[in-house]
Structure 1
């Protein structure tokens, strides 16, 4: 099964606002949903630290910053062949 990764950090209001909707979109697409706190991994901090939340599917950054759950759903519909 493929995975949708949600890069976040504690106290991120943008992250908290969309995480549940993105998780629901992942589930509807049959994907595992994984949340990763960028502050817990020094290697991720320079990559995603100022960009959170960041939604990644495979190697594709689906959305970041002010994540739009509708945009994530549209991407997943195309990527995994949903109607």
Structure 2
């Protein structure tokens, strides 16, 4: 019989906020997909144009990485920083 290590910590909620035609969003999508894939984490992408509140808040900052509902990075997404944040 093996002992349980206790409850597993749920994975972070990882969301990439983008908008159509954004060249920085293309690069961010590749970075997020690679890091999340490496760590085995699910992630989602949302267009700020689908939500007026998001569009008003992030119009000049996309792409934006949100982790657990908190803005953690924008414009140029650094894979090493993203990895550190997700492993914390």
Instruction: Give your verdict on TM over 0.5.
Output: yes
> What is the root-mean-square deviation of aligned Cα atoms in Å?
1.6
Alignment of 1:29-48 (within 5 A): 29-48=39-58
25-34 vs 3-12, greater mean Cα deviation = 25-34
2:61 to 31, 36, 51: 51
Q: Which residue of 1 aligns with 2:17?
A: 7
Partner SS for 2:43? strand
The number of residue pairs the alignment matches comes to 78
**Unaligned stretches of 5+ residues in structure 1:** none
Q: Higher strand proportion, which one?
A: 1
Runs of 4 or more off by more than 3 Å in structure 1?
Answer: none
Unaligned runs of 5+ in 2: 1-10
1:69 pairs with 2:76: no
8 Å Cα contact 1:55/1:64 also seen in 2: yes
Q: Rg: which structure is higher?
A: 2
